[in-house]
Structure 1
């Protein structure tokens, strides 16, 4: 199937709903036509009786074709032989969903290193109309060569949108934001050598509307794309991801502090940081609209000082991140661990909290689901000699969400921290970093960086829609993986985090009614919880500053048989409740694949 969309179409991905002869329906999320065109290839069940396609306004289906499964498998064997072998093995095991996903990963997914060829097949020219908005473009130049200035000026002359003024500024430093804007209604700051697409300013102006800021994706000098999320203020401050393909409204510029922007080599980035701090609403145009000439510098510390912010810029592993203040005295944090038996796990988790965590105000609540192991019962007796510990019995059939709710009800901390019994503390400051985030007024849930026992990434945030429902981004990658845009190096917004390690203020937990123990007793309860917080206006934050081990689900075992059937029922409920977020996770670019976990193109 091939879809086409105009530049102003919503970012929601098309949907395919396949009804089967037994009455069951399968919902498939298709690639978003972010550059104008999108292709989808996938397996349709042999017993399908009808197929329904849902698109967004401005998006339409232009082609449907049919290929044999054998032909697709041969292409997969040619492109990615390992995928073809895995497909055959999954088919022998009767794993239909796995067959579909592995096969798609072999033929329908492209590495970002091949972006130029991928984009050439999908880019559609802008044909819309933009409202008249006098724009001032300033080219900041510290280049000794006139060629770089000429390239940028030529791209501005070629714009399909009329400009108010174009000016080149050079020298040691630059003045205040208001001085840059002049009498214009919108401001675009470029560096010498940046080259805008001819439709760039037209698309930005059409997108801006009543927002403070419109920004688009960009191509770096190495040819690789920077595919940005929708508005993500923490990420914008910490990484400057908005970049220079952006249009700032007069309303926003007038709210910025009057201080000079400093050295000209950092002026565009400093302006972006100040604007990100003051921005109330931003619009993302999810397509590359320029090739930029320089990688961005990021004077975060200097800008925070100019803003008089209580937030600090801290260096972690050569990367500058934000550190939010922690009150003195620190608020009580209630760590809640649902568990049953498994002395090898619960002892490690509890001792990690009580003995290897440097947070000064801890309450530990273990919610026990009928442990019978004498070693565990003896360990509980030992634990309760510590006045910080409570053991809460839960003598009912296993229901993870209900156990979490029972633990929160029994706890007394201002902040509640949900922790699996298969977690191991890796760094003593993990809880301090999570509480810093959880007590922010606009933050709901906070998640940690979790590693498998072998040191590979287990959790770096949840993408809603990944694998068709929700999944962990970049699973099994090396622990120091920076992630696209470097987001895994800094705290930033995500749609959801895992309850294996999740912090939230008690007030916000209660405001949304806690975990939904009826609809999601075992799976998807954490993602559903984060999305309900988001619906109330609270953002979810993932932070790499809190790092722990997660020996994932070793206490539950694999989901097969009745467990698998229960999982599928909960997955169906989750899909029905959160289908619109599945179609567009705002923190995951619509051009990126939902089939693989590695930020590939689809």
Structure 2
């Protein structure tokens, strides 16, 4: 085997701010051999100190100080020259690499000599390392790891000014190529700077192919002070793009197969000969991804703060939703009277006024407002003022009984500002949730008037609440229950309201505590600041001690690093027997380490070890087990298992033979880290309300591997906090405290044996391989027991890395389907997590939500229609988003739109009544619809506007059309409850694909189409023209000779597209523009006559009359082909034969009598406005098409 090539990571360093993180990420690379070269161009010595502070680095590091500042260009060139590696990565001094980055990218360059550029996906993060939402620049444009034709990719950059490939840090190159090209790009320091990375990449693509990996391998940092945001660099961007376009226009080489298309081959098949090249519509993919990015918040944000503010701004009621509020409130079971009580503890009159201002702006007004303050102020009809006493809890005990018109009261402080929907959401929740007696919500901070520091809390979490009062201070209570509980206990001081919450839990149950998972309140005195108050810290232990004393629990409370956090040692007294069940696996060394470490390092000794050898053919394993079986006695038993190859059945079989009061399922790959791990598990497990306990599990590098599990995270269930440092506190201190999760890792799971038996053990029929323990945890919860995770029991796990084989993969997929079917409502709303947080790449990070997706209510006033358009341009607008928007504005539906297929969890959270699936006939579309059918009861409507089975050959949509497109279309339609099409001919040709086909014609939105006007007779010659999309080559060829013939008699005006052969005869050409500007642009053409030619083809027969509607809205007289699409009552001149002679005759007829021609245009406009506008009467068509009968 040849030796792996040396790779150089070069860092042209200038900014020391994030340099240490960049260097650490380089040193963490798993690839060998590797060198790191740092060329320091900074004015200070911070970078040098970081390098000199390294102790035994994992890879050689060479530090080079520039005697004189070189600037980016020359410093980069020096880095490349100093590097000794065959392969080179330029790591920007503020970016980071993930550990396998070099290894995965270098493998591609080693195996494919003609590739000279390898990219991997990257994420953007801000200065605080918060992951930012995806955008076009880091979108996944290829479905798999692919090798792409370099020449083809070059053409893409003539059509987009976005670098979607990556920056320097995302690429790996061959050093020889870079050294040959780079000097010319920075000639005499006057070359590329702002776009230097892309310019280099373009030069490399001219010399060879590139590869793109679909794995995220780097982080690019966005922050205000970075080099690319400096004024001189920003100023240079436009000029450098012009340089790039000039470079691209002058290139030679092979042409792309068609505009926007790139040839590619999957990397896994790149060695096949001949190569199985396919075509990827990259520009089309980028356009679709742009719609996805624009449909979610934060796609252009440069920081977490900016992202959060955009997220917050999107969480408001639309004008249509506000108009429906009286109807919504009327539908409640009862109207709730809420009294906010504002305590001005700081005596800050200005802050108090800001709070009162937010209360005055509520969409659901308070019954009255109580202000307790020593600051001057006037009372009004709606505001009751009293001086604030030092014992405010006692004062409230006297005041609240006198509030006869109050159903609920809401505790606030001066400086708090409620969102305008806060009281509305609270009242709606109270009205529809009879059992609730107390409510808390998510909250945020206000810093200099800016929204920041959101806190996204879990639903009521008993053990987290025992750790510290995470619910916060802004609590709402039922006045009636407050009185029956005797009010606040003044002895609890600052935490008297939290004490009342505990008494409600003790006396009625935890189900009475309602969490509103939304930012209801923002404050100048925010969550973290409140928790750090000495009064809160001092009262925290006493709060929990009093709670535990009331329920008769003996315990000792202690504190580790933070005095606020309570660590509870329950005084159980008993020493129950624990049966530790270990399935032996295939690795004898791993099993030996596990068992020997367990015996040697576990302080608690009242346990038995049950070893199960199932399926192993290793003779050494058999010998060792036999020896252990003879030596073990009562403490260690080796049990045979001859049942099915089913992990759940095996566990159940061994559990039946266990003698212990508690079962501990332990992976054979675990290692014991602390002697008290079993004591800590039992500390929680012996509580009567607890059934399952899990441990903190570390990876071999000491980082977090398992710390509880979140439902729906990266699949049915996943682990948060993966990769966090051992000492990290975690979001809301959740890596440091005992708390409840919905599930815990199967690698170390303790359960009470009587509960295990009562539940029938693991469900070996449904979850034999993978999800049995998660299912067990959920059944435990359903029966009213707690699942507890403790950070104080720590183990280490070295998991097997072998990917599952095909049969195992199929079994896992089947189990996942069953898991979703059984637990989807719980998966979508994991009470231990928060719906605002991501279930994907980064746990506890804010999810970039859909822009129009906010729904804070627990009840529904109207049917919800989820539209899934194919794009955000014409077809998606006319057939989905436009009608939906008008239906919502008219108060007929709640509209939601997504430009990507929602996840199963997202669909469950939305719970739509109808899903409109537009044009779902591509690879994988049918399986996606099937997924929706499995997990949603929504009416599925397949929406189609073209006969895609047979597109004209010259139509651009025909390119790369799958050979089996008719079958894919049939499959998708068959999985839906209804098919909605644009025309009767299209319904007729699809009649054998579905029994319920409904024709809903295209219509125009009143705004702006109803108000358009154009001018007539504006030129010395008649203005005759065509306007439309970019896929009408064959249609325009119908009138090619007409254009030539009349070139001297009329002014030809083309908008959208114009065949090159006709350009010499055209007076004006206007290229295609965005949908928003399209109507006004079409009207501004001031045509005296508009043409709508169509080829005679079944595809065109099935098309709609949309072109006539658009022309008619502008008042243009129209001549069109007499095809099925344009037949009907609309006043137009129709050409029957499509011959040049008939077209010429029709045009000259109109031009000879302009008065009559214009009259026809007026009649067409009147017909369009009457019959084809999305007004109140015509919306009924869409209701009939989309809603259940």
Q: TM-score, normalised by structure 1?
A: 0.78
Q: What is the match of residue 425 of structure 1?
A: 672
In the TM superposition, 1:164-203 aligns within 5 A as: 164-168=368-372, 170=388, 172-176=390-394, 178-179=397-398, 181-183=400-402, 184-203=406-425
Q: What is the match of residue 767 of structure 2?
A: 520
In the TM superposition, 1:17-56 aligns within 5 A as: none
Task: Mark the runs of 5 or more structure 1 residues left unpaired by the alignment.
Answer: 1-37, 47-67, 95-99
Cα shift readout 1:280-316 (whole Å, capped 9, x = no counterpart)? 4222222111112133334321113333252543313
Classify the secondary structure of the residue corresponding to 2:632. coil
Classify the secondary structure of the residue corresponding to 1:205. helix
In the TM superposition, 1:322-337 aligns within 5 A as: 322-323=567-568, 325-337=570-582
Distance 1:315 1:257, change over 3 A: farther
Classify the secondary structure of the residue corresponding to 1:323. strand
Q: What is the match of residue 434 of structure 1?
A: 681
From 695, 705, 712, the counterpart of 1:448? 695
Q: Report whether the alignment pairs 1:290 with 2:521.
A: yes
Q: Report whether the alignment pairs 1:218 with 2:443.
A: yes
Decide whether the 8 Å contact of 1:286 with 1:589 is kept in 2: yes
The Cα shift of 1:369 comes to 1.5
Q: What is the match of residue 748 of structure 2?
A: 501
Task: Mark the runs of 5 or more structure 2 residues left unpaired by the alignment.
Answer: 1-132, 144-155, 172-210, 218-265, 270-284, 374-387, 849-1189
The Cα shift of 1:179 comes to 4.1
Classify the secondary structure of the residue corresponding to 1:496. coil
Q: Report whether the alignment pairs 1:559 with 2:810.
A: no
Q: What is the match of residue 234 of structure 1?
A: 463
**Counterpart-to-counterpart distance in 1, 2:706 and 2:492:** 39
The Cα shift of 1:254 comes to 4.0
**Counterpart-to-counterpart distance in 1, 2:822 and 2:336:** 40
* 160-169 or 106-115, which deviates more: 106-115
From 405, 414, 424, the counterpart of 2:652? 405
**Counterpart-to-counterpart distance in 1, 2:819 and 2:771:** 7
Q: What is the match of residue 316 of structure 1?
A: 560
* 460-469 or 508-517, which deviates more: 460-469
Distance 1:400 1:457, change over 3 A: same
**Counterpart-to-counterpart distance in 2, 1:89 and 1:219:** 31
Distance 1:507 1:352, change over 3 A: same
* 427-436 or 298-307, which deviates more: 298-307
The Cα shift of 1:82 comes to 5.2
Decide whether the 8 Å contact of 1:468 with 1:582 is kept in 2: no
Q: If each structure's helix is expressed as a fraction of its own residues, which one has the higher value?
A: 2
Decide whether the 8 Å contact of 2:504 with 2:512 is kept in 1: no
**Counterpart-to-counterpart distance in 1, 2:545 and 2:566:** 14
Classify the secondary structure of the residue corresponding to 1:316. coil
Decide whether the 8 Å contact of 1:138 with 1:188 is kept in 2: yes
Q: Which of these two proteins has the greater Rg computed from alpha carbons?
A: 2
Decide whether the 8 Å contact of 2:140 with 2:214 is kept in 1: no
Classify the secondary structure of the residue corresponding to 1:148. helix
Classify the secondary structure of the residue corresponding to 1:488. coil
**Counterpart-to-counterpart distance in 1, 2:393 and 2:741:** 35
Distance 1:93 1:456, change over 3 A: farther
* 390-399 or 260-269, which deviates more: 260-269
Q: What is the match of residue 384 of structure 2?
A: none
Q: What is the match of residue 19 of structure 1?
A: none
**Counterpart-to-counterpart distance in 2, 1:251 and 1:303:** 23
**Counterpart-to-counterpart distance in 1, 2:583 and 2:635:** 17
**Counterpart-to-counterpart distance in 2, 1:72 and 1:483:** 41
Q: Report whether the alignment pairs 1:137 with 2:340.
A: yes
**Counterpart-to-counterpart distance in 1, 2:733 and 2:829:** 21
Decide whether the 8 Å contact of 1:240 with 1:273 is kept in 2: no
Decide whether the 8 Å contact of 1:109 with 1:593 is kept in 2: no
Q: What is the match of residue 415 of structure 1?
A: 662
Decide whether the 8 Å contact of 1:112 with 1:224 is kept in 2: no
Decide whether the 8 Å contact of 1:243 with 1:272 is kept in 2: no
Identify the structure with bigger relative contact order (alpha carbons < 8 Å, sequence gap 6+): 1
Q: What is the match of residue 149 of structure 1?
A: 352
Q: What is the match of residue 545 of structure 2?
A: 305
From 512, 517, 522, the counterpart of 1:281? 512
From 608, 616, 624, the counterpart of 1:378? 624
Q: What is the match of residue 97 of structure 1?
A: none
Q: Report whether the alignment pairs 1:353 with 2:557.
A: no
Classify the secondary structure of the residue corresponding to 1:374. helix
From 817, 830, 844, the counterpart of 1:599? 844
Q: Report whether the alignment pairs 1:115 with 2:318.
A: no
**Counterpart-to-counterpart distance in 1, 2:775 and 2:163:** 38
Decide whether the 8 Å contact of 1:259 with 1:306 is kept in 2: no
The Cα shift of 1:501 comes to 0.5
* 126-135 or 575-584, which deviates more: 126-135
